[in-house]
Each structure stands twice: as structure tokens, then as C-alpha cells.
Amino acid sequence: MNFHTILLFIHVTCFGAWFGTVLASIFLLKTLESRLTGTAVRAGEDAILLREYIKTETKVADVAFIGVILSGILLASFFHGWTLWVAVKSGLIILQVALTMGYIVRAIRPISYPCSPEMFRNWYTLFAISLGMFALVLGVTFFLL
């Protein structure tokens, strides 16, 4: 196995782990939805569970994201060069992070539990942004470049 194959494996695995954290969050939030939009006693307990999960999920996502970036830089530097393909993919990843973090600050952090089902839908908008950007990155990477 050569260095290029190892870097590519790390790059794809980290991207998959980053994507997986989003999917895991969707499943957890869907499971907790009725309880976080329900009575205050139950919502308080589940809100604590959600906060602890988000702390752990963020650590995993951060490590995976850093792995994507570092392996991508190494792949570009040693094997692929700094081409338009690399610039487009890098720009899309930066856009994904900016859109996701911006929406978290604007619409997710202000949520307190229990909340209305309408307010809870902000979570699903966040997932739509994240999954849409993942699909765009993968679509451009595999089908356009």
C-alpha cells in the first residue's frame, strides 16, 4: 500500500465519519422530538441528554473534519496539485461549514426545551443544510470534476 492510497483512505473515512455524525444526530433528534416538545419535566431531562450528546458528537465531527482538511491538503500538495478541482471542493467545504455554523448560532442555540414543534423544526432545517451540502460536495467531486 502506498502513501497516496493511505491518504485517500483517511480522507474518505474522515468524510464518512463527518457525514455519519450528522446522520446519527438526525436519528437522536427524531427519537427525542416528542419528548423535547412535551412536558417540562421530561423535556428538561432529555435536554440534558441532548446537550451531552452534542458535546460528544461535536468532538467526533471536529476530528473527522480536521482529518478531511489535513488529508486533503496532503493529497493536493503531494499528488494532485492545487488545481481548480481542489479549489472548488475546498470552497464548497468552507461554504458548508459557514452555512452550518451560521444556522446553529442563529436558529439552534436559542432553542430552550420544552419548545414548540415549529421551533423544533429548526433542527431539521439544519440537517437539510448539512445533507444538502454533503450531496453538493459529493456530486461535484464525483460527477462534475
* 89 neighbors 145 (Cβ within 8 angstroms): yes
pLDDT in tens, 87-135: 998 999 999 999 999 999 999 999 999 999 999 999 999 999 999 999 9
- Read out DSSP for 48-75? HHHHHHHHHHHHHHHHHHHHHHHHHHHH
Give me the pLDDT at residue 44, please.
Answer: 85
pLDDT reading at 143 higher than 90: no
Distances, alpha carbon 58 to alpha carbons 62, 63, 66, 111, in Å: 6, 9, 12, 18
Average pLDDT over every residue of 71-92: 92
Instruction: Label residue 74 exposed, middle or buried (CB < 10 Å: 0-12, 13-18, 19+).
Output: middle
Instruction: Label residue 26 exposed, middle or buried (CB < 10 Å: 0-12, 13-18, 19+).
Output: middle
pTM of the predicted model over 0.85: yes
Give residue 142's pLDDT band: very low, low, confident or very high (50, 70, 90).
confident
pLDDT in tens, 85-100: 889 989 999 999 999 9
Return the minimum-mean-pLDDT range out of 21-25, 67-71, 78-82. Answer: 78-82
pLDDT in tens, 26-65: 999 999 999 999 777 788 889 999 999 999 999 999 999 9
Cis upstream peptide for 117 (omega within 30°): no
pLDDT reading at 79 higher than 70: yes
Phi-psi region of 71 (alpha: psi -120 to 50; beta: other; left: phi over 0): alpha
Give me the pLDDT at residue 85, please.
Answer: 85
